[in-house]
Chains A and B, each alone.
Chain A
Amino acid sequence: MTDFSLSDVVARPLLTTDALAGPAKRLRRESVIRGLFFAAAMVSVLISVLIIFSLVREAWTFIVGVDWGVTWGETGWFPRRGLYDMPTLLVASLIVTVVAMLVAGPLGLGAAIYLSEYASPRTRSILKPVLEVLAGVPSVVLGFFALFFISPNLIEKIGRNAWQIIGYGITAISLAGVLFWAVRAWRDSSATGAMIAKRVVGLIVMLALVLVLFLWVNAIAQDCSPVAGDVAACPSESAFTVKRSGQLAAAAVGVGILTIPLVASVAEDALASVPRHLREASAGLGARKTTTTRQVVLPAAISGIVAAFIIGISRALGETMVVFMAGGAADAAQFTASPFEGSLTMTAGMASLATGTDSVVGEGLTFQSLYFVGLVLFVLTLFLNVVAGRFVARVRERY
C-alpha cells in the first residue's frame, strides 16, 4: 500500500486527542468560509431592516408634518400642490385590484385546474411553458398593450355600450337556458303524450318571452340597436363617461393578465400536492372525472387556492408600470370611483411623483409623502403575504 502519513496510525496503538484534532489551519479556514456564507445570508436581513428604516423614517416626517384634515378630504391627489388625499389612491388601488382579480382569478384558476387534472402530459408539457413565458413578459409591455389596445377596443366600447351588452347578454343567456331545457325535455323518452303537449306549449311560451325581451332591449337601445339603426349614433348614448386614452379599467385588465401566471402556478402547486390516492379512491367509487375534481380535489386543495388568490391580490396591489402607463392620470388625480375614469393607484402615484425633469420637486412634504404611501403599501402587501403563507403552510401540514 502506498505509504503516507496516516499509516503510522496502524503501527502506533495509542493516539492522542490532539492527533485527532485536525490541523488548526483547516479548522480556521472552515470557520472563515462558514462566516462568509453566514454574512451573505445576513444581507437579506440587512436589506429588510434598511427598507423598514427608510420607509418609517421618512414617513414619520410626513405623519407629523401633514395636515390630516386635508389628507382625507376626498379632493384629489395633488402632491406637488400639497394636497395628499389618500382615499384617491386607495380607492383607485382597490378598483384596479378587484378588476384585475376578476380577470386573473377565473382564468388563472381555470387554467391551473385544467392543466393539473384534465390535460394529457403532452398537452401539459406544451402549454405550461407557454404560461411561463407569459409570466416573463415585463410589465411595461403590458402597459403598452393596455394603453394602445385594451383601452380603445375593450374599455371604451364597453363603457359606451354597457346597456346594450347587459341587455343582449341577458337575452342570450335566457335563450341558452330555454334551449337547454328544451333539449333535455326532448331527450326524455319517458314523457307521455300529454306531457309532451304541455312541454311544447311551455317551449313556445318561453321562446315568445325571449323574443319579447329581445325586442324590448332593441327598443331601449333605439338608435344604438344593431338590429334597427346606425351604430354611429351610439357614443351619445353611452352609459358611462369614458375617458380617452387610458382608464383604470384598462390598466386593471392589464394587471390581471400579468397576474394570471402567478395565480395559475400557485394554484397548480396546491392541486399537485393533493395526494393521488384521494383521486383514485374517488374514481374507484365510480365517480366521473368532473365529480372527483369538484367534490374531492378542489376542497382538498382549497387552502392553496385561497393562497393563490391572496398572492395574486398582493401582486396586483404592487403593480406599478401598467397603471402608470395606462391608468389615465399623469401627475395628479381627482378622486373618482369609476373604473372608466383615469386615476392613480398608490404605486402609480409614487412613480409619477418621481418622474419629470427633476427627481421629486414640490412644496413641503412631497418627498416624504412618497414614503408614507410606500409604507402603507408595504404594510398591506406584507400582511397579505403573511396570510397567504399561513394558507400555504396549512396545505403542507395536511399532506
Chain B
Amino acid sequence: MKKTEAITTVVDDAAGVSAGSSWRRRLSFQNISAIYLFILVFVIFSILVPGTFLTPGTWLGIFDAESLTVMAAIAVMIPLVAGVFNLAIGAEIAWAVMLVAVLQARWNVPFWIAILVTLACGALIGLISGLIITKLRIDSFIATLGMSSILLAAKWFISDNRQITGLDDGFREVARAGVTLAYNDQGNPTFKITLPVIVMIVVAFIVWYVLERIPAGRRMYAIGYNADGARLSGVKVQKIQIGTLMAGGVIAALAGVLLASKLNSGDPTVGPSMLLPALTAVFLGSTQFKGGRFNVWGTVLALYVLAVGIKGLQLLGASGWVEDLFYGVALIGAVALSRWEPTAKRLGAVKRATTFRWIRSEKPESAEESSTPSEPKA
C-alpha cells in the first residue's frame, strides 16, 4: 500500500512539472523543429544571397507555386491518417491536368463543367482504390502503386501524351484570380494572394476541422493506429478508409485543375514529380506540433520550409538536380527523425506506416507490453 502511495506522489509531481513547463515543451526543438530549421535556412540565405532571397517576389512566388504541392501533400496525408498509403497521388494530379484540358480542347466542354467532371473523377478514382484495398484486401502500397501506373496509361490514352492547348479563355484566369493587397506606383499589383493559395488554405482548414473537431477525424486516427481495435470500438473501418481516399482524390483533382489553369495547357510531364515532396512534407510534418501524429499544419509548414530551402539553394546557383536530391534526403531524414523518438508518446504513426506489413513482427505492441511491470498475471 505504501508503495502505491509513493508512486502516486511521484506521478503527481511529474504532472505539476510538465504543466509548468508546457511552454518550454511547446517551443522545444522536438515539437517545432521545422520552425527552427526555417529560421536557420532564412538566416543563412539572407546572408548569402540577400539581394534575391529577401524580395517579396521570391516569397510570393514560393507561396503560390508550392500551394499545389501542399494540396498534394494534404491529399496524401488524409488516407495516411487512416493507415492507407496513396502512392498514386502524382498520377492522380497528372490525370486531372490532362482530363480537364482534353475536355475543353477536344470535346469543347465549358471549363466549369470540365472542372466539375474532373473533381468527380478524382472522387471516383479514390473510390476504386478504396474498394481494391478494402474489398480485395490488397495492401495500399501495392494497390495505389498499380493504380498510379493505370492512371498514367489512361492519361496517355486520352492525350496521346502531347501538350494540349486551346483551352477556354476563362479557364486560364482561374489560377490567376486572387486578392490584390498592394499596388506599385504604376498601378500593377505587387502583393497578390492568388486563388491557388486561397484554395489551399481553405482545404487545409477544412481538413484540420475534420481531423480535430468531428468524430470522423478521431476515428481516422484510431484506424491508423489500430484498425482492429478501432473496429471493436464501433468504427466502420472500411467505409472511412474509402472515404479518405475519395477526399484525397478530390483534393488531388483540384490541385490538377489549378495546375492546368496555371500552365494554360494540358502538360503531359507534370504530376508524378509531386509525390515525393508531398510524402516528405507529410512525414516531416508528423514530427511537428502533434507529438508524432500526422497533422495538417505540420504538413503545410514542413512543405514550405523545404521549398524555401530549395529556393535558397537555387538562388545560390545550384543546378536542377538539387531539388530531387534535397527531397530524397529530406524524406529519409524525416522518417528517421520520426522513428527515433525518445518518448513513448510518439509511438509511431510513421513507424507503423513505414514498416511494411510483411516484415512487421507478429505483435509489436504486446511484445512491448511484456516489458512493462504489469505483464505477469496476478
Partners in one complex: no
Q: Which residues of A contact B (CB under 8 A)?
A: none
